[in-house]
Chain A
Amino acid sequence: MRQILMAATILVGLGIGAASAQTTLNIGMAAADVGQLDPHRATTTQDKPVVSWIFNGLVRFKPGSASLESLEPDLAERWEQTPDGLSWTFFLRKGVKFHGGYGEMTADDVVFSLRKAGTSQTSSFSADYASVEAIEAVDPHTVRIRLKQPIPSLLGLVANYHGGNIVSRKAVEALGADFRLKPVGTGPFAFEGYKPGESVTLVANKEYFRGAPKIDRIVYRFIPADAARDLAFTSGELDIVYGRQDQRWAERFKKEANVVVDVVRPAELALLHLNTKMKPLDDKRVRLALAHAINRAQIAQFKGDLVAEPGVSVVPAGYLGTDDKAPLPKHDVAAAKKLLAEAGHANGVTVKSVQTSLPTMLNSMQIVQNQLKQAGIDLQMEVVDHQTFHANIRKDMSGVTYYSAARFPVADVYLTQFFHSNSIVQTPTAVTNFSHCAVADKEIEGARTATDPARQKELWMQAQRKIIDEVCAVVLFEQLQVWARKTNVDLGYKFDGAIHLGPVITETTAKK
């Protein structure tokens, strides 16, 4: 009898043990801390991946893809638009629950979310919604969006990205400012906890409308020191790690047993923005000379072919509207010297640049500096810390501004933020137009509202060519995103693109 009882106890114990064994995914990120997890405010590289695991949009980028062509239904099952493109109606899924007992997702939440996304006091992406006239709930599961002018890429504004993420109205109103670190969404993972400077923990949303996730918990660790992060990954304490955008790093980890290195788009396009209002760059011949002095292929080769590619235009490759065949100035040192002489600088010229001390950006500029020197252009760099760099370039203090960025994969966003006159620095509506470029405003605005896709692409192409012709910026290279994971982590999809700057952890992601 005693033996039977003992055997039964052991069996029950094993059963409990098996049931309570949880699958935890440990992810290491190169950041000191979270920024914020309100999806309408999450702009940093470390915040965007976490937001993608917590929230949904009306439509979503297919996991593993950063292409607009991959957009598919998410919280909306289907949608319609009027022939004039001024009204869109979205039909919502029924029975989708918010985390934390905040009830069912309804049209009221969608209206609240999109209005919040379009308001500057509550969103960093409000400018994207400037053409939205009204958002209304037709019934509890139908939302209508009325526009001031047609927006052919409206689906991008309601996708699971930036302002398109749908939040719980009740949760935002109840939590107020605390919502930024206690997010409530409908996604496969719910926020569980945050330890400052350490980690964010998420737990599986067992009621997720696509099915319960195979991963029970995600621990997202902030590990700013590269060496510590790499060692923790090697020792097995991390399952997925943010990789260094460095050829040697990628090559080293590719050789490690049980490791998969993923190098994906969208890439960050590195441009040299030339301040057309600052001498001597106010002379187009000097700007063109600078462009001819740059050897894009050499810079991309220095960066490494695993993690970088030469740029193709002033908009990153692969975006909707990128001119892949843009006529970029060729590397020609003799032509550069001739132009400088014509501009009255036969003995050389000095240009100034405020430059960040971040190693990956500084080393690229050191290559550029050396290339420019061959043509008689002395690039004097004032190297400052990264925050000072961001502040000073926005104060219009730099003649040459090296800036590397990825944006939503539509040419309009990149062109508007970097090359439209509304975005010129030091103006009220300033974003990141460091060159004071204003040559392509008509084409950019025209493309935004063009209903014919061919005409829209034509206008974008014209805009890019005008900007290149005016030499508002010099195209350098594109830096791809790098992640590494253990082979026992199956993401559940083919990882070709990371619009959220990190692998999407879905209900199909598993750890063996």
Chain B
Amino acid sequence: MLTFVAKRLLLAVPTLLAVLTLVFVLVRIVPGDPTIVILGDQASNEARQALRERLGLNKSIGAQYVDFLVQVASGDLGRSLTTNRPIVADVAAVLPYTIELTLAALFVGCIVGIPLGVVAAQRRDGLVDWFARIVSLAGLSFPAFVSGILLLLVFAIQLRWFPVISTSNASDPLERLRALVLPAINLGFLMVAYVTRVTRSGMIKALGDDYVRTARAKGLVPRLVVWRHALRNVLVPVVTVVGLYLGVLIGNAVLTEIVFNRPGLGKLIVTALNQRDYALLQGLMVVAALAVVVANILTDLTYGLVDPRVKTA
């Protein structure tokens, strides 16, 4: 397994390099000037030019690219142009929140989506099946900022069960959990949609297979037939979807982070882009790309757990 992980990480290097290069070039093509953000709109051209020289922004793009590669190769993501803070510190400050939210959304997605998909398949065209299909459609079509506001209006303002804005100042773990619930549901809604669909269609097929008919004929309890035998075979495509959309979750988290005012990687990327903070944006995109690579590796490893026939050599 270690060999497998090492091979996959090595293969990730050219991927990361490609992402880095693309971000490096694209950010510099987009119009905008970080010196206006740093110095404000009352600063003269002279002052901005002097700052560009100090930040090395007056060098050719090629020279800036080489400087950047050398820096990254030595493990240094550099410093933010606007705050001068080490980018590693900024990433370390927000990454735990992104991981927390993504895992919570994943949990919501699986804990709701898998049972809902199973029951919908068992009672095809029944009330539960229709409900599952509507939930799935809503999850895919509802914009996250709309569902987020609705959740806040109902559960935070009317019922006062949860806070409106998240705070990392909460030293009490229960308070922190309370602040995570609504954002997790908001982001998890998308995951519920995907997982329900894949589980439902997989279960419909599995429940019609010969081995299930045989298990029923042998007199096995229906609950065991469905949850132990049929579902086991459906989990592989479910894991595939979860792994595939984990990257989507990380990207989609930005809207949830903004609506619920949670710190996070996505929100920081948007801020860096708005401020034309090239250095911060590059560093964050490296981390985001690495996160997707790690997610894919974990997905591949999970196959082995779910289906012993799959070996990770």
Please report A residues at the B interface, Cβ cutoff 8 Å: 32-36, 41, 43-44, 120-121, 124-127, 177-178, 180-181, 195-199, 219, 221-225, 227-228, 231-232, 234-235, 237, 384-388, 390-392, 394, 405, 407, 417, 423, 426-432
Contacts and interface: CB of A to CB of B under 8 A. Distances in A.
A387 B83 contact: no
A390 B261 contact: no
The CB with the most chain A CB atoms within 10 A, among B45, B153, B258, B260, is that of: B45
The CB with the most chain B CB atoms within 10 A, among A32, A36, A177, A405, is that of: A32
A178 B84 contact: yes
Given A391-B36, A430-B45, A431-B43, 11 more contacts: A32-B271, A35-B38, A197-B94, A225-B259, A228-B259, A234-B157, A235-B164, A387-B31, A387-B274, A407-B42, A417-B42
Interface in B71-98: 82-85, 90, 93-94
Contacts of B263: 195-198
Contacts of B276: 387
B40 to A, nearest CB: 2
A354 to B, nearest CB: 10
20 contacts: A43-B40, A120-B46, A124-B39, A177-B84, A195-B93, A195-B263, A196-B83, A198-B168, A225-B145, A231-B164, A232-B165, A234-B157, A384-B31, A387-B36, A390-B41, A391-B36, A407-B42, A426-B45, A428-B49, A432-B41
Contacts of A32: 267, 270-271, 274
A120 B259 contact: no
B185 interface: no
Contacts of B168: 195, 198
Contacts of B136: none
A388 B30 contact: yes
B56 to A, nearest CB: 15
Contacts of B47: 120, 124, 126
B41 A43 contact: yes
B44 A390 contact: no
A126 B38 CA distance: 15
A127 B44 contact: yes
A245 to B, nearest CB: 18
B50 A391 contact: no
Contacts of A224: 258, 261
B281 interface: no
A196 B30 CA distance: 25
A36 B83 contact: yes
B101 to A, nearest CB: 14
Contacts of A43: 39-43
B9 to A, nearest CB: 28
Contact of A44 (B31, B40, B83, B164): B40
A180 B48 CA distance: 18
B309 to A, nearest CB: 45
B193 to A, nearest CB: 23
Contact of A124 (B43, B82, B271): B43
A430 B271 CA distance: 27
Given A196-B93, A391-B36, A431-B44, A227 B261 contact: no
